[in-house]
Amino acid sequence: MTEAVKKAAGLLARSKCAMALTGAGVSVASGIPDFRSPGGLWDRYDPMAVATAEALARTPRRVWEFLLDAISVMGPAKPNGAHLALAELEAAGKLSGLVTQNIDGLHQAAGSRNVVEFHGGMGRYFCMGCGREHDPARARTLTAADIPWRCEDCGGVVRPDVVFFGEAIPLDALDKSGQLALAADLIIVAGTSGEVVPAGLLPREIKARGGAVVEINLVESAYKGLSDVTIAAPAEIALPALAALTLS
């Protein structure tokens, strides 16, 4: 890992405008398993039955059983070294911002300021009926007796502000991620296989314009052959090492 980190630190030090793209692998050390991995939520739930707007309208209690499970995993989670290192790089002016496919809010909790949540976040809730925003703290106190969560104003079902299957990526997230990528001459890819699009296309766009790709992944990804440097190590180990060397 050492030589790869040194090479990546050299690229990052010379970069005029770098960004990051993160996925589920960044939050595993915080106790949040990848939904798709063995033991993840998709081992226990059919995503088409619990993670679509149609399912929420048709069987809200079933969907909220899944959401309670997700909240119980994400609620106690704290930022790990990977989140903290990215926040440190941004604070030092070496990272213009990051795009994350995660919905756990841990980048913001770590101190990152320019965060584009490509798939929304579990820190915001709104009513499907009237659109009223609801207190996210309430979500963490819900029990099986309280679901589905309903709006006090209109009785509509309350949902998290996340992108369910079949829903479009928010235009604001597309716009902001596109702006970051257009300005970037380097992208750090951490903890994502690159298979989920359109977020997974960002490194290819930057590479096509002559930029560099630094990849941090434990397993082979869709970026094989594209990355200038591949660091085969956990994000919570590789990113702090990269930050320390870059900022030393």
Q: Which residues are identified as catalytic?
A: 119
DSSP secondary structure string for all residues of 178-209? HHHHHH-SEEEEES--S-STTGGGHHHHHHHT
Distance, in Å, from the CA atom of 12 to the CA atom of 15, rounded to the nearest integer, reads 5
**Residue pair 217/189 in contact by the 8 Å Cβ criterion:** yes
SS3 call for 42? helix
Residue 215: φ, ψ to 5° = -110, 135
- Residue 209 burial (CB < 10 Å; 0-12/13-18/19+)? exposed
End-to-end CA distance of the chain: 18
- Tokens 């926040």 found at: 87
Q: How far is CA 194 from CA 41, 97, 178, 197, 219, in A?
A: 20, 18, 16, 7, 11
Distance, in Å, from the CA atom of 229 to the CA atom of 8, rounded to the nearest integer, reads 6
